[in-house]
Amino acid sequence: MDGQFLPVLVLLLGASGLCGQGLGPRGPLEEPPEEKPPEEKPPEEEPPEEDGVLVLSRQTLGQALQEHPALLVEFYAPWCGHCRALAPEYSKAAALLAAESARVTLAKVDGPAEPELAEEFAVLQYFGLKAQEAPTLRFINIETTKKYAPEHGAPVTAATITDFCRTVLGGGVKPYHLSQEVPPDWDQRPVKTLVGKNFEQVAFDETKNVFIKFYAPWCAHCKEMAPAWEELAEKYRDHEDVIIAELDATANELEAFPVHGFPTLKYFPAGPGRKVIDYKGARDLETFSKFLDSGGELPAEEPAEVPGAAFPVGVCPQAPGLGPVLSRVAVGGHGQGWAEGVAPSWVSVILARKSQETPRNPRTRSQETPRSPGTSCSCPPSAPTQELCLGP
């Protein structure tokens, strides 16, 4: 089980543990219900082959992950022109890798026939790919969250697919970090807009005290604190040595500052060096102001994180994706989606690498806990419905 899922599981078990202690629906005197023996799961099917490529479904994905140390998966649509053009190259790549006994096995998933799997992987937004960039490759190791990209403009052929896989697995490709373009008006509002490309310049300006909110557009807690953040920026807008800024951490990646929950607040004080202070206090104008006025120190009477909590109260954890079971390679595509016979928004190739634990099939929407938009958080870039909100 991926460690990033543990907070969710612990919270669920903790909630069920309240029953029988005067806090649950049964009360302290009621006998617990008799546990039913677990149902036996039917054995998973062996995936069939087509032109040397495994054909996967929800029923066969888990079995394939257990049998193959590295699995390269293409999500496609039969009507998609890019998919049809890639098909012979993909088969050639499968033959090349098989001939050299490589540890990568090629597979594919018919997206329209397996909509739950296609939606689960949500490759286009996961990698920040744009339709006009297609076809291209992306690789991510979920264990480290590092992404890799081939040389810009390289054609997607059997040779480039196999070479890219070999090079990434061999450690010969430097990590690739997503970044939006710097907005022309990034510094015109009280809250400055940072992206990956201007972060270093602003955050480590030795003449400025920079307070940055790392957020996700979908996060309910980020939206809840947004008014206080705007008020803070307005209050200090005439202080030449203070910058209040925000960065969309779902669209911009910083190698030195991985973000594990939203919102994350960091303070970069003026002066030499690269000093960083994590803010863990209350999210209101008064406490923010005290923090800034004290030079980045939280007053002793202010609450910090809840002791023992996996995440601070009111924080949405970063997307777990599919855990260490999978690492991913994506080939960008075109179109709008799978629905109603329209060409897919991407053609993806995902590199799935086994962990030491038993792989599991990805969860689907039908297995998720229902959530309302106002009280919970979905979680791009992985899959918009994979994350539970751990806040109150």
Q: How far apart are CA 89 and CA 37, in angstroms?
A: 48
Q: How far apart are CA 21 and CA 287, in angstroms?
A: 37
Instruction: Identify the band that residue 345 occupies on the pLDDT scale cut at 50, 70 and 90.
Output: very low
Instruction: Give the three-state DSSP class for 208.
Output: coil
**pLDDT of 325 above 90:** no
Read off the amino acid at residue 226.
A
Residue 13 lies in a domain: no
Instruction: Identify the band that residue 69 occupies on the pLDDT scale cut at 50, 70 and 90.
Output: low
Residue 257 lies in a domain: no
Contact 292, 285 (CB under 8 A): no
Whether residues 270 and 329 fall in one domain? no
DSSP assignment, residue 21? Answer: T
Whether residues 289 and 234 fall in one domain? yes
User: For 258-289, how does the pLDDT look when each residue is reduced to its tens digit (9 = 90+)?
Assistant: 787 889 999 999 998 889 999 989 999 999 99
The mean pLDDT value for 285-304 works out to: 81
Whether residues 310 and 329 fall in one domain? no
DSSP assignment, residue 391? Answer: -
Whether residues 211 and 168 fall in one domain? no
Which sequence positions are flagged as catalytic?
80, 83, 219, 222
Contact 229, 244 (CB under 8 A): yes
Residue 54 lies in a domain: yes
Q: How far apart are CA 241 and CA 269, in angstroms?
A: 10
The mean pLDDT value for 384-392 works out to: 27
Query: How are beta strands 242-248 and 191-194 bridged, if at all?
Result: parallel
Residue 357 lies in a domain: yes
Residue 14 lies in a domain: no
- Domains contained in the chain, number: 2
Q: How far apart are CA 147 and CA 71, in angstroms?
A: 17
Whether residues 121 and 164 fall in one domain? yes
Whether residues 338 and 282 fall in one domain? no
Contact 191, 233 (CB under 8 A): yes
**pLDDT of 40 above 70:** no
% of the chain beyond a pLDDT of 90: 23
**pLDDT of 83 above 90:** no
**pLDDT of 300 above 60:** yes
Whether residues 70 and 157 fall in one domain? yes
Whether residues 282 and 362 fall in one domain? no
The neighbouring-strand residues paired with 138 are: 330
Give the other-Cβ count within 10 Å of 110's Cβ: 18
- In this prediction the pTM is 0.49
Instruction: Return the pLDDT at 10.
Output: 14
Whichever domain contains 247, its CATH number is 3.40.30.10
Residue 238 lies in a domain: yes
CA-to-CA dists, residue 87 to 92, 119, 257, 317, angstroms: 9, 21, 39, 38
Range of the domain at 64: 49-176+321-367
The mean pLDDT value for 79-86 works out to: 80
DSSP assignment, residue 37? Answer: P
